[in-house]
Structure formats: structure tokens, C-alpha cells
Amino acid sequence: MFPENTVELLGAPKTRVTVLTGAGMSAESGIPTFRGPEGYWTIGSAVYTPQEVATYAMFARHPEEVWSWYLYRFTVCLDAAPNAGHEALGALRKRMQS
């Protein structure tokens, strides 16, 4: 978690904080990354590469393929749960609001 004086270090409670995370933030919750061995860009669709699927041009030609790819990703996210990193950021937010 964050040190006890994190809020004091960041300043007044109305201070805005931006957090940049890597792909591991969601991977620890069971959501594949895009470029990992089991990632969305690695596995892709049966006929098209993910780089093709994630374009408007593809959506215009084959909307069912694009919807299928995005709906698969959506269902994976439905089964995910927050991990320690998410909990720590939530705790920081609560501390900054108090």
C-alpha cells in the first residue's frame, strides 16, 4: 500500500493525481495483455489479424467480426476482479477525499 504520509506528500485533498500503469495492472486480474503470449494482438481472430480487426475499415466491411472480437474481450473482463494494485489506488482515492 501507500505510505501513511502519501496524502501529505501529494498536497491538499483536492489535488489531482494521475497514475500511469502498465499492462500488468489488468493481467493480475486475469485480463490478457495485448502483446503477451496469450494476448489479444497475439491470438487475434481466426481469419484476421487483430490490427485489422481494430479498425473502422474492418468494421465497415465485416461488423460481425469486429463485434465478435470486442464481445469476447468484454466477457473476459466480466469475470475479472480487482487486484492489489486496484485496491491500493482505491484506498489512495479515499484517503485523498477525506
Domain map (residue ranges) of the chain: 1-22+82-98, 32-79
Check residue 57 and give its pLDDT.
Answer: 94
Burial of 92 (0-12, 13-18, 19+ CB in 10 A): middle
User: Cα Rg for the chain, rounded, in angstroms?
Assistant: 18
Q: Cα separation of 45 and 40, whole Å?
A: 9
Is pLDDT larger for residue 7 or for residue 24? 24
Give the pLDDT mean for 59-72.
Answer: 89
Flag whether pLDDT at 94 surpasses 60: yes
Percentage of residues in the chain having pLDDT higher than 90: 18
Give the pLDDT mean for 59-71.
Answer: 89
